[in-house]
Each structure stands twice: as C-alpha cells, then as structure tokens.
Amino acid sequence: MKPLNGIAIVATLAAIWPASAQTSTDSALPKQIYGRVQVLDGSTIEFIKTRKIVRLAGYLAPRLDQVATTDSVEWPAGQVARDWLVLRTLRHDVNCAPVATDANRTVLAHCFVEDTNLAATAIAEGIGYAFNFPGEPEVPAYFDIERRARGPGFGVWSDPKLTPPWNLKPDQAAAPAAGSSSKETPDPGLPLPPPDPVPSDNSPRG
C-alpha cells in the first residue's frame, strides 16, 4: 500500500467548503472542538476530556472487520484505517470545525492536526473513501482527491472486490464492490482549519 510520494494534504487553499455543506441548524453545535482524542474507528474520534464523539465529514473508512486482498495477500483494511488515524493523532491536539450532526446526533466535522486535513490525507493515501450519507455535508474536493488515488490503485483501490462500507449490512461479510460514490464535480477547494485556540491556564482542552 504505497502512499502518494510527497503527499501532505494541507488546508492552505483559498476557498472554504461549499455553503451547501453547512447544513446544520443545531444551535448547540460548537464552533470548534480542540484537544487530544481517542480513535474509535477509521472515521470516528472521541475527545478525551469532553467525551465528544466526532465523525470526519465527507469521509468514510472501511469497517473494522473488513479485509481486502491485494495481489493474493489479505490485509485488514478496517484495522489499517483505524491504525492510520491513531498514528496521525497520537500525541497531537486535533482541531475540528463542526459542520453538522448526523442522524445519530454525532457531530460531523472537518478535523486537522496542525494544517493537515485528516480526511483529505486519508483519501489521498487510499485509506478510505470520499463519501457522505444523504443530507450530510459533501466536499467536492474530496472526490477529486479520490480519483487521483484510484488511478494508481492506492490502498482500498488495490482490491476491486472490496465492498464500500456503506453497501454492507451490519451482519454482511465482504462482497463484490458496488463502485464509488465519486462524482465529476469541480474542485472548489478544501476546508480550511479553524484558528488555533489560545486556552488560558485554567481552561480545559478537548
């Protein structure tokens, strides 16, 4: 599973994610969540101090029990996605900009370690997919990044039979893939990170 050479997807592009992605009308939605996190799966983190659970917006990793096969070699795609997120966030503060809540009231957010967009980087390295459930924020730039990862066959794209996680039922084992949700959409730019908070000595983090 070879990553893109020199890839460091950073949020330095000028455009903010489209207005259509800002769908939440929940007045209780925080503007920013910041701190150390525990990784729950390849798409979901929990802030340690506040216990706030956040799912990366516009992105979905394979399920923890999914296994891919590349050149006759099996590898645990779901565990790889979780471990990738652990390594990216371990001993780092994560800075999230919430944009919505999902049907389970889980916060959807664009999350960064310093200037690195976690979802965009995972997609570029073939760790998971550009995806949004109906009614959730869509980030067209993520689909463009996904197309660039699909061409060389990075990560999940190295196994054409790996079923995207949204096509699996809770008790369903891996089956032939039904294809990506990728669309031919122009790239308006990646989400930008929120400003770094400047906590006082007695203000809690995360």
DSSP 156-192: GGG-TTPPPGGG--TTPPP---------------PPP
Residue 199 is predicted with a pLDDT of 56
Phi, psi of 165 (to 5 degrees): -60, -30
Is 60 exceeded by the pLDDT of residue 64?
A: yes
* C-alpha angle 79-120-176 in degrees, rounded to nearest 5: 50
Residue 27 is predicted with a pLDDT of 57
Q: Which residue has the higher pLDDT, 17 or 47?
A: 47
- Average pLDDT rounded to a whole number, residues 70-82: 97
Q: Which residue has the higher pLDDT, 77 or 176?
A: 77
* C-alpha angle 206-166-34 in degrees, rounded to nearest 5: 10
> pLDDT tens-digit profile of 97-118?
999 999 888 999 999 999 999 9
Query: Within 10 A of 123 (CB to CB), how many other CB atoms are there?
Result: 34
pTM above 0.85, yes or no: no
CATH 2.40.50.90 for the 29-167 domain, yes or no? yes
Is 80 exceeded by the pLDDT of residue 204?
A: no
Q: Which amino acid is located at 187 in the chain?
A: D
Residue 206 is predicted with a pLDDT of 55
Residue 153 to residue 59: CA distance in whole angstroms = 18
How do the domains of the chain map onto residue ranges?
A: 29-167
Reported residue count of the chain is 206
Six token digits for residue 196: 């770094």
> pLDDT tens-digit profile of 179-192?
344 444 445 578 88
Residue 137 is predicted with a pLDDT of 86
Burial class (CB in 10 A: 0-12, 13-18, 19+), 50: middle
Residue 105 backbone zone (phi > 0: left; psi -120 to 50: alpha; other: beta): left
- SS3 call for 88: helix
Report the percentage of the chain scoring pLDDT > 90.
Answer: 64
